A and B are shown apart, each in its own frame.
Chain A
Amino acid sequence: MLRRELFKILGAGAVLPALSPEAFAFFQEAQPAKSYALRTLNPRQNETVVAMIDQIIPATETPGAKGARVNEFIDVILTEWATEEERRNFLDGLAGVDEQSNTLFGKNFVQASTAQQVALLQAMDDVAMTIKYHHVRRSTAETEEERDPQLRGNFFKIFKGITVHGYYTSEIGFSQEIKEQIIPGALHGCTPVPLEKNT
């Protein structure tokens, strides 16, 4: 509510650009860290998912996909968003990761060493990223699958896509890692890359 009151005042006075990101952060209604009970992923599947997302977007100076609880976003999407077929394919793909891990390393993915995990995911990524997908805009898509393609196609492409999306749309990914601002307060068309983004 505070934030809305603030904007009412600002709307009249036109002093928005003076609002610093810190001040804005103060007014953002903090999301309480609710505990989330998994509904689709069983404990073993969840462990595999957590291990995978942790390798795809690991913790660095900021938390990674595990810290941002992307596994919970994945569970929400699998439970409420996916079609039955998409959910089955996803879970089959997940089981396939363990199968490959067993074939290659003689153990399940979560028990494999970091180097082994990375090697397997890197191999899956090499295949997935070479597949070209024809992107159909929702405006011209004719079928439901075309309109919502996020869970269609190669398993690892799906998995990486949902991990990237879940991470960079989390508060950690958006605010801490990318340092995006909801209200930039100014426009610059051609300006130096800020130091913190110049990696």
Chain B
Amino acid sequence: MANTSYDAIIVGSGITGGWAAKELTEKGLNTLVLEAGRPIVPERDYVEHKPVWELKYRNWDNRAERERTQKVQRQCDYACDEYSHQFFVNDLENPYQTDPGKPFAWIRGRQVGGKSIIWGRQSYRWSDLDFEANARDGIAVDWPIRYADIAPWYDYVEDFAGISGQAEGLPQLPDGKFLPPMEMTCVEIDARDAIKKHYGDERMITIGRSAVLTRTHKGRAACHYCGVCHRGCITQSYFSSLNSTLPAAQKTGKLTIRPYSVVHSLVYDSKSRRVTGVRVVDGQTKNNMEFKGRIVFLCAATLESARILLNSATPEFPNGLANSSGELGHNLMDHHMGSGASGNMPGHEEKTTFGNRPNGIYIPRYRNVKTKHKDFIRGYGYQGGGGREGWSRGYSMSGIGVEFKKMLKSPGPWGMSLGGFGESLPDHNNYVEINKDLVDAWGIPTLKIHYQWTPNELAMSKDIAVQAAEMLAAVGAHNIQVDQNITPPGLAIHEMGTARMGRDPKTSVLNEHNQAHDAKNLFVTDGSCMTSASCVNPSLTYMALTARACDFAVSQMKKNEL
């Protein structure tokens, strides 16, 4: 009979579950990690060095199969392909609903490591511009923390994860503890200098801050620039749970990972007002099981954690566990993408790039930093990059024959592109609810997602396109193509906000320590805890909040407060 009682149970093994596992085991807790999906064996499952000619469809993918089983997932076009589709869920097993005409792309990875295998690795700190935003604008609720509360924890997680980047001294994008930055390309350097000349202190280009090692770090090898991190990394050169936190947790001897453990709901004891256990459906046998823990960390990702709590309703909490505020499942946010511009860059005919850099450049937020924009609040940043076109320009390049082949052998024109990531606002009307009439492959009721961009995001999206084109013109680009578009929510895979932190239990689900107002041994540290969305990629903040919450939880346990 396997052990069913632990000091701590963590639901999920992705970015935050991995951190919780490391922190809680290193602090001595006997810890169980429940992962809904299968185990991953890097030597077998990573495919980053598999030559494309070994793929039957040469990365055009098994189209019919993908359309049938991963219609939603394959919208994640940078990663859900012939190489990496196995790191995304089967949509047939994991249904959900949306309102007609209001799509939401719910991109999920169920395996040990979760989405940390396929994440984009961009790692930026929030600033007080973000933590004070709701209070300043008078919307939603105020964050219960400020930059000073989280800064030491950014230091802590960066030190372990290894973030490469360039310190710039910007108040809206605080510097971290960086490994050496990756090199910019010839045209990125030109663009950086031109932006500085044209916009002064208002705008700038820096190299992306990325959880990819530029030198050996804590026993993990430096990047070898194969450039396709989302297919895995046998040298563990980018941060993922599998490459970093779970091995650290395993070293303590205190960790049990149980794959194929689909969490149905949490068990709540109304007398002690505590969560006492976790109900699990075995992913393979579909048997029901229960595990007991003194504390529970929900790290299942924003929508999944909300779903688990909503499915854990009790007579005392008829609308979902820890939902006395009525905010559980509400205030869903994601970053909006789709607007930007691209163009060709002059010069440097005799120069090129070497190596496949798994990173780009970053233009930090400049809107509503020092001045107020007339059409929208908050702001956006750009990710982008400049390089020379490769052989794929041959699809649309005139010519055939020896000359055509010769042209494609040499690098093509220099190009530069910028794509915006914009902040979205918390809105009570963007929410999820349980649909009891539709269950997943394990018999668990599913979500209905209601989401619509607010006018603020639509106005911002227009500005993103216009300013991208203006900046490319300012740096000397030609053939500028402008994209004014807004992707369906969900696709940035930065969904957050369904169990927000706040000071007041009447208007928020979690307190300043990611602890449920309604059940003090329950912590939620994935994206669902977010009170606003900022415009920077959120994973680094999730890591810092998780480590901080673990520290608090264990200190409370030691004081017998939990």
Contact = CB atoms under 8 A, between A and B. Distances in A.
Interface string B148-162: 000000000000000
Contacts of A11: 220-221, 234-236
B391 A164 contact: yes
B392 A187 contact: no
A78 to B, nearest CB: 12
B383 to A, nearest CB: 15
Contact of A188 (B63, B221, B223, B355): B355
Which label, helix, strand, loop or mixed, suits the secondary structure of the B interface? loop
A128 to B, nearest CB: 9
Interface in B312-353: 338, 348, 350-353
Interface in B22-58: 43, 49, 51-54, 56-58
Interface in B202-255: 216, 219-226, 234-236
Interface residues of B, number: 73
B400 interface: yes
A184 B49 contact: no
A7 interface: yes
A99 interface: no
Interface string B65-87: 00100000011110000000000
A86 to B, nearest CB: 10
Contacts of A174: 51-53
B400 A160 contact: yes
A174 B397 CA distance: 19
Contacts of A171: 51, 53
A189 interface: yes
B404 A57 contact: yes
A167 to B, nearest CB: 8
Nearest to A76: B56
B406 interface: yes
Interface stretch (A41-49, A88-96, A100-108, A142-150): A142-150
Interface string B390-408: 1110111111111011111
Contacts of A144: 67
Interface in A1-45: 3-4, 7-8, 10-14, 16-17, 28, 31
B356 interface: yes
Contacts of B411: 193, 197
A118 B189 contact: no
B491 interface: yes
B400 A73 contact: no
* Chain A interface residue number, banded: 35 or more
Contact of B226 (A165, A184, A194): A184
Nearest to B50: A182
Given A57-B405, A139-B487, A191 B351 contact: yes
Contacts of A157: 395-396
A139 B49 CA distance: 25
B57 A193 contact: no
A51 B259 CA distance: 53
B59 to A, nearest CB: 7
A160 B395 contact: yes
A55 B236 contact: no
Contacts of B558: none
Closest 3 CB pairs of A and B: A189-B183, A187-B355, A138-B77
16 contacts: A11-B220, A16-B224, A17-B222, A31-B54, A60-B405, A76-B57, A77-B57, A129-B397, A157-B395, A165-B60, A178-B409, A187-B354, A190-B348, A192-B351, A197-B410, A199-B409
Given A31-B54, A177-B409, A186-B225, 17 more contacts: A11-B221, A55-B401, A58-B405, A60-B405, A80-B57, A81-B63, A126-B398, A165-B60, A166-B58, A169-B52, A178-B408, A182-B49, A184-B355, A188-B183, A190-B189, A197-B352, A198-B410
Interface of A: 3-4, 7-8, 10-14, 16-17, 28, 31, 55-58, 60, 64, 73, 76-77, 80-81, 118, 121-122, 125-126, 129, 133, 137-140, 144, 147-148, 150, 157, 160-161, 164-166, 168-171, 173-174, 177-178, 182-194, 197-199
